[in-house]
Amino acid sequence: MVQQFKAGMNSCNLFWEKVATDWHEFLPIFTHTSVRLSRTVFRELFYVKWSAEGSNRREKEEDTMYQWECLLMSIQGKVLEGETTDITFEELLTFATGADAIPPLDFPHKCSIEFYDQEEGSCRLPFSSTCALVLYLPRGIAQEDELRDLLTFALKGSLGFGKV
């Protein structure tokens, strides 16, 4: 079977010979070499879909994103100090994308953060679309603890894929 695999790879412009020669370049693709995510790496995975600048919605989104940044710094600080955290970058990544590590060939496109409005008298939890790679956060979060509590409940309270 190994010989068939090599022959199949070589049928594409001698690809297996290239892999065998420059194996160190292909190591991240053919082996699982995930490392703990850092705040910087995690942040670079996402872009923010903002409302129009100067609007009330934009102002509320900026409040939420400030608390999001505070939360990410808090997680990073605890990781560096060797403390346990309620939420890890890997759990946030899994919640937003369905993957607990960055794929070897990266995601097909950048993940995004979008916003929704909380309805009066109710509390809607953050949610995601793992197919579209979108994390939805509520607008107007003014306290880091409030965002942490909402995300913790959403992450820990979800059943996950195939766990019904």
The set of catalytic residues is: 131
Distance CA 85, CA 80 (A): 11
Residue in the block written with tokens 């605890």: 78
Among candidate residues 101, 146, 141, the one with its CA nearest the CA of residue 118: 141
DSSP-assigned letters across all residues of 116-138: EPPPTT--PPPEEETTTTEEEEE
Q: Is 100 within 8 Å of 93 (Cβ atoms)?
A: yes
In whole angstroms, what is the distance from residue 60 CA to residue 131 CA?
26
